[in-house]
Amino acid sequence: MASEVDGPDAGTPGDVLWSGRFDGPLHPAIHEFTGSLHFDRRLVRHDLLASLAHARMLRETGILDEEDSDLILSGLSRMLTEVETGRLEVEGPDEDVHSWIERTLVERVGEAGKRLHAARSRNDQTAVALRLYVRERLEDVLAGVAGLQRVLTGQAATHRKTFLPGYTHLQRGQPVSLAHHLLAHVAALRSDAERLKAAHDSAGVSPLGAGALAGSSFPIDPERCTALLGLDRTFANSMHIVGDRDYVLDAAYACALLLVHLSRWADEIVLWSTREFGFIELDDSVSQGSSIMPQKKNPEAAEILRGKSARAIGNVTALLALMKGLPLTFNSDFQEDKERLFDSLDTADWSLAAAIAIARGVVYRTDAMEAALAGGMLTATELADHLVRRGVPFRTAHHQVGEAVRIAEEAGVELWDLELETLRTCCPMARDDVHEVLRPEAAVTAHDSPGGPAPGRVLEQLQTADREVTELERWLDDRPDSPIRRAYLEERLLDEVLA
């Protein structure tokens, strides 16, 4: 964070944490420019947890005596309880949330509160609070991913025998089942979940004990802080960890790609709800109208969801540009990572909630999907494969089927409607049963390769998706609360907690 001052009207150097070095107050414009309390106040819970862990470690290592640590720990635990219950608001002239915590603690417990910062810098203090915040918010986003996957897999299970065209270049390509199509979106979300979990792991390093950049001369125990906070591991290099924001970039990128996938799905919702496609109808609860055209029923939520990806992409770009030229170790430029990160996490969370609502509001028009199977010569590849099985080289078969397609188009019929003798004029190796091969349902069933649209393969995909979503839900349910939070929010007596 930037340097601190009590506020624009700060008068004496003694009012600020670093005042000993300075003869005069900070200029009001600089205080306002460098202040971050208005956006980093959302880190208050996480900083209080980290401060509790730090104070507990100071007590256990003998850096703080029992009298002072009792006051500090009880004061911090009361603040945490009041913040979580809404009885304590983060407000005041402080430049950032970290200064607010220290000032509030000193006001409550007196001089003992000034001892909390021993063996700690705001560099590792800021980093640990942000890491805890990122992990918590990523868990929220992952819960949304699991929720959307549940909706889509449920719809897929219902539509295993609903067939429609699959598209390439937005042109009808080959027939698939609606289940297979929906499971493609579930697969994209699976990749998103893996990236979000990787970002969660990336943020799981405790920087407490790194100090400003060079550790501490006190006999600290960083591993103890890591354990108390429920983080995965402790830093390996103090200079690296205070200047590391890879986990911020990891989280922002994972959110951006999630939003890109949601955008592609939302674009499909917009497209399929048009009269031209007519594959779906949207419930009134997820549609909006026009201020001038009374007949309109617009997929505005899906359009806005499609647009949200631009924000997330922009945030990643901004963060990469922020980090690209910074020297080791800590720099006040890092203040600029918060709002971009917060916006990415917020946007991902809100977008998933909207996507779940939209998905639940979709009614699939299976009649329109079935009608779209005609008119696109969707089983031309099946005819080529049929000829290949009869010994025709694929490139030759491709040419022959192209001629058959031209004949069918000129006649205004589908390939499966061509008379056998007509078909054999360009595909002489076609068997008598070729028409059965060319039916869309038969084509879908024939594509029984792994991951394909055949009913058995779709069932496998559904089972895999259900298992993976269940595993993700269990992972989220099993995420432990930090031991230090459990201890201090169960309203035990302090001496019981410290025993």
216 is catalytic: no
290 is catalytic: yes
- The active-site residue out of 169, 217, 291, 449 is 169
Return the number of other C-beta atoms located less than 10 Å from residue 450's C-beta: 8
- The active-site residue out of 38, 290, 332, 399 is 290
Point out the residues that are catalytic.
169, 290
